Structure 1
């Protein structure tokens, strides 16, 4: 008990000292010195961080260029997406591929000795209704050996199917079912392509941009029937499409309220 008491006392003492105790660690990003504070922790990085970031970025560019040379017919674009979540100080590598070349490219990335992206992270999608091929299907892969991530993207319309990646990655089963359920992208050769998040008998795909936010049906528990019932949502179509007159439309453009028509007074 005495030893435990001294440990907690020492930890409490360190916590009470603002900006005094720090630790230095070395990683791929360079040497980082982190200071602890009761208010807000912050880190100061060494000047060689920028140089290492540029080195990592050049390595990623060279790697993407080599992929384009090795599989020229399967890659339409290759670039580096620089976001807040970067990989090893560079960015996230992105490959754009045709929808009929998705499986060959994924197999190459999994099996080639220079890639070894053998860890399937996720499969997701995004909807862009203004484009002819409105759905962007994204595969996120991870190479445990090289500690590298890559994103494979393809585009399809409402009626074009994509071959399932379950023949390469067993972990693609449920993510592809989710994309089918929420977006309506069909994956052929899938072992069990059925809805996974919505209810039985659900109509439509909720994450499409043209799907109404209020939906078409509602699910509730009927206390008289002692069961769950599904009923149509009692909302007018004008309300769904926001096609109704707003009380603010009486004001003219430009904010000249003096010229606005006066609303009728209540009786």
Structure 2
């Protein structure tokens, strides 16, 4: 495995050069991070370079790093992570890019390179709020049309902002402010020595 990773790392460094901001090897995988300005160009090299041949985009997801590992995060808040596969060379790489502006997170769309990026980027837009510049149909895919906010952001309330219910008097679905009372649930602890017949 180490020889294959060495070969992949050498090919990545030769093809991408100074576009690689950070390269990390962990658990038998390589993750490369590039600047947002080089994201589309780096992805194009990963797909087209004959020494790499990443023909398939497997996944794209968004991450909110605002409180990474229960600590404060120093750096851009929103990251897009792309997983690529080379079927012909039998290797994978993870490509990361951070949106430079936390108030308006924008990165390039990869839909022109891999059509499979379409729905993944729509999901990252819907859940995290990353805007994919150049995407031909960037709209919500999992939440309702009138949904406000991005539910996978760490500052989004667990209960949401509005709830939807059917109103029998109006005979239609209505939206209203959330009526759930926040409460702390403490689990019931049973301290019997012979609970459940165990001795």
In which range does the TM-score fall when normalised by the shorter chain?
0.7 to 0.9
1:223 to 168, 172, 192: 168
Q: Within 5 Å, give how 1:177-192 maps onto structure 2.
A: 177-192=122-137
2:79 to 133, 136, 139: 136
Q: Which has the larger radius of gyration?
A: 1
In the TM superposition, structure 1's runs of 4+ consecutive aligned residues that sit over 3 Å from their partners are none
Query: Which is bigger in relative contact order (C-alpha 8 A, separation at least 6)?
Result: 2
For the residues of structure 2 that align with 1:194 and 1:180, how far apart are their CA atoms? 8
TM-score (norm 2): 0.83
For the residues of structure 1 that align with 2:52 and 2:142, how far apart are their CA atoms? 33
The 3-state SS of whatever aligns with 1:71 is: helix
2:43 counterpart of 1:120: no
2:97 to 154, 165, 186: 154
For the residues of structure 1 that align with 2:12 and 2:89, how far apart are their CA atoms? 16
The 3-state SS of whatever aligns with 2:40 is: helix
The 3-state SS of whatever aligns with 1:100 is: helix
Following superposition, the deviation at residue 100 of structure 1 comes to 1.4
Structure 2: state its 5+ residue gaps. 67-71, 187-199
RMSD: 2.0
Structure 1: state its 5+ residue gaps. 1-55, 83-90, 248-267
TM-score (norm 1): 0.62
For the residues of structure 1 that align with 2:15 and 2:121, how far apart are their CA atoms? 28
Equivalent residue number for residue 32 of structure 2? 95
Structure with the bigger percentage of helix: 1
